[in-house]
Each structure stands twice: as structure tokens, then as C-alpha cells.
Amino acid sequence: AFVKAGEELKKLVDMGAFQDGFLGATHDDMQATFGNGKAAMLLGGQWTPETQKANSADQKGVANLGMFGFPEVEGGAGKGTDVVGGGNGFAVGKDASPEAVDFVKYLTSLENQTVIAEAGSGIPVVAGAEAGLKDPNMKLVQQAFAKAEYFQLYYDQFLPALVGGAINDETQKLFAGQATPEEVAKAIEAVAAENMK
């Protein structure tokens, strides 16, 4: 599956789908390119509407935004509704004070999750709080999460640090034309075999 994904990515690289200098672009550079109307799309998240505005020359960015999931690949596993992304979490140790538990309960109450949604500060995790969402794109993200039967944390964060780093480094080589999809997959597998015993 990962080799096939690499082959599809290589097609995009080979057709020149990315802007000049993309390998050296920072996150802010990417957001500015999009916000200045110099790119048709970008890989982003619920933060994109605000960050593309903030990084654009006119501080307004692209007004007419939308969202779509990755296209399904013929013969691929999974469903088009599967989601890969990040999120926030809270860890409270067994010896934590009652106030720590109370604080998490406070943050995750329907009332406060609705306030977070209204402020555009995040996608609410409590059913019913999505009513507070105002931004149409945030609503689309929330709906995608709600429909998802499977959620995968970004692989570079989900896996041990050395494996996540290898995913990023080896994928960069694919973008740069310095490795084939097969070579990238083998290199990642080798690091995983060494670090996930």
C-alpha cells in the first residue's frame, strides 16, 4: 500500500504539481503561496483558513475555501471516509489531584466545548457542541470526523520518533527524486524493524 502511495505521489512530482522551490518552503511559505492565490490547493487542516490569511500579502487570503478528502485509489484498502490527522489529548496520572480531573471535565463539558467551537479554536469533541461552529470549513472538518469509522494519528507522530523521522526523511527523498517508492518503503521498513521490536 505504501509503495502504491509513493507511486501516486511520484506521478504528482513528475507532472510538476508543486510550486517552484517547494522542497525548501516553510509552512508559512506554503500558506502564503496558497493565500496569495498562487496554488490551487494545499494539504492542511482546520487551521488553514486562518493561517493562509495571516501569511498572505493582503492579510485576507483566499475567501472561497473548501475541503475534500484524499481520493481513493483503485484497489486500495480502507474507505474514503477514513481520516488521518492530529488532535489534542490530556493525560492525567492516577495520582493526580482531583482538581486536575475536574479541569479536564470542565474543558470537555458541553458548554465549554460549544464556547471553543464558537471561538473557532478547535473542533469540539462532545456531541452537540458542533452547533457552536460558525466557519463553514470547520463544519466540514467536524462532519468528516463524525462520518469517519477509522482515525489514524499522523504516522510520524504515532510511531516511535526514529521511525517517524525516517518516514519524513525518506518521503522527502521521494519528493526530491533521490529515491524510488520501493527504496523509500524499504528504508522505512528497515528503521521500523530496528526500532519496533
3-class SS string, 14-76: HCCCCCCCHHHCCHHHHHHHHHCCCCCCCCCCCCHHHHHHHCCCCCCCCCCCCCCCCCCCCCC
Burial class (CB in 10 A: 0-12, 13-18, 19+), 30: buried
Which residues contact residue 112 at a Cβ distance below 8 angstroms, ignoring those fewer than 6 apart?
106
The residues with which 31 forms a beta bridge, in sequence order, are none
Q: Which of 50-54, 164-168, 169-173, 186-190 has the lowest mean pLDDT?
A: 50-54
Q: Within 13 A of 148's CA, how many CA atoms are on the CB side?
A: 15
Asked whether the predicted pLDDT for residue 2 surpasses 80, the reply is yes
DSSP class of residue 77 equals S
Model pLDDT, residue 45: 81
Three-state SS for 152?
A: strand
What is the average per-residue pLDDT within 54-68? Answer: 91
The string of pLDDT tens digits covering residues 172-186 is 999 999 999 999 999
Model pLDDT, residue 64: 87
pTM, two decimals, is 0.80
The string of pLDDT tens digits covering residues 113-162 is 999 999 988 899 999 999 999 988 889 989 999 999 999 999 999 999 99
Model pLDDT, residue 190: 98
